[in-house]
Amino acid sequence: MGLLVPVVLLALAVAPGCAGRDDGDSATDAASQDPGNDAGVGLAAAEGAPEGEDAGDRATDESAAGANGGAAGGGEGAGPLGLDTVAIAQARDVVRTGTMRLTVDDVDATASDVRRLAVDAGGFVADEQVRARDDEVDMTVRVPADRFDDVRGAIGELGDVAEQDVEAQDVTAEVVDVESRIASLRASVVRVRGLLSQSGDVAQLALVEGELARREAELEALLGQQRVLRDQVDLATLTVHMSEQEAPSPSDDTPGFADGLRRGWVAAVDGVRIGLAVAGFVLPFAVPAALVALVALSVRRWQRRPPTTAPAE
């Protein structure tokens, strides 16, 4: 009995996440190395038997499911290969998320309508942020996945949709993997608990309890991961950004009467200054030109005077 517990724990620690059949085989091989320990061989066989039966049951269930699937594949909705594509699509685990930007007339009224639509669909408001100064609201709602499209369409009718984005992520493989690991860990925990009553001394008891605590903690972590995945699959997430339409308002840069008067006065003063500058620039040339023109005019008039006749004697 003293060699039984360490050998079985060694076999369990080699592959904690494997199927029960592999654990049972490992335990059986380890126990068979000691020909004189008939109890160890019987215990290892007892440990592997339930998991071996479960594996056989699963194989039988899978075969039956395959037969049922093949029979159903030939019915309505069958694809080109005889597969029921509708049933396959419904069996997938898909996480759906979306974002939407709305321009509305009244942000508060629209936010109330979004809350009502989420509650009526069986969902709830997960997060809400209000910026009253900017007349904007950000709201995140969680609704059942089968009502996601209906709720998204109803919210889109509350205002003008400026932007919209929808994403879908298939997590079926991840869900199946987590469920398989949980089933294996549960069976492993049951086997380790059974070893507690067979521990011979305090050292073996502490070793078994430590292994049991480790596996229970790993099982709880997987159960938490499973709950998160199931929540994401069952409830779709939609984030809505709402903002009000900006009403037309006079610009601060538009000039008024005072601005026009001031600018007109400045323009008049500038015109007078420009005129005086032009006069000052032309004056030095204008005076000599005027004198020359006056002399030329005088000469022309003198030349046009008729000749005077001499008086008769």
What is residue 237's three-state secondary structure? Answer: strand
Percentage helix, strand, coil for the chain under 3-state DSSP, each rounded to 5: 65, 15, 20
Q: What is d(CA 56, CA 20) in angstroms, rounded to the nearest whole number?
A: 11
Q: Give the C-alpha separation, 106 to 125, whole Å.
A: 19
Q: Residue 256 and residue 128: Cα distance in Å, rounded?
A: 43
DSSP one-letter code for 82: S
Structure tokens at 308: 């005077």
Distances (CA, A) of 223 to 108, 135, 220, 274, 290: 40, 42, 5, 89, 111
Q: Which residues pair with 183 in a beta bridge?
A: none
Measured distance CA(198)–CA(72) in Å, rounded: 50
Q: Is 127 helix (H, G, I), strand (E, B) or coil?
A: strand
What average pLDDT score do residues 42-52 get? 38
- Tell me which H or E stretch contains 240: strand 235-244
Cβ atoms of 29 and 48 closer than 8 Å: no
Query: Cα dist. 82→63, 90, 92 in Å?
Result: 18, 17, 18
Per domain, the residue ranges of the chain are 1-72, 93-247
Distance CA 293, CA 298 (A): 9
Angle between helices 202-234 and 172-196 (to 10 degrees): 160
Q: Whole-prediction pTM value?
A: 0.52
Q: How many contiguous H segments (helices) and E segments (strands) does the chain have?
A: 9, 5
pLDDT digits (tens, 9 = 90+) for 246-304: 644 555 666 677 778 788 888 888 888 888 888 787 778 777 888 888 888 787 777 77
Chain segment 110-165, per-residue pLDDT in tens: 999 999 999 999 999 999 998 877 789 999 999 999 999 999 999 999 989 989 99
pLDDT at 221: 94
Q: Measured on CA atoms in the order 25, 30, 35, 39, is the torsion positive or negative?
A: negative
Give the pLDDT confidence of 177-196 residue by residue, as tens digits.
Answer: 999 999 999 999 998 888 87
User: 138 has which bridge partners?
Assistant: 129, 241
Instruction: Determine contact, residues 155/102, Cβ cutoff 8 Å.
Output: yes
Residues in the chain: 313
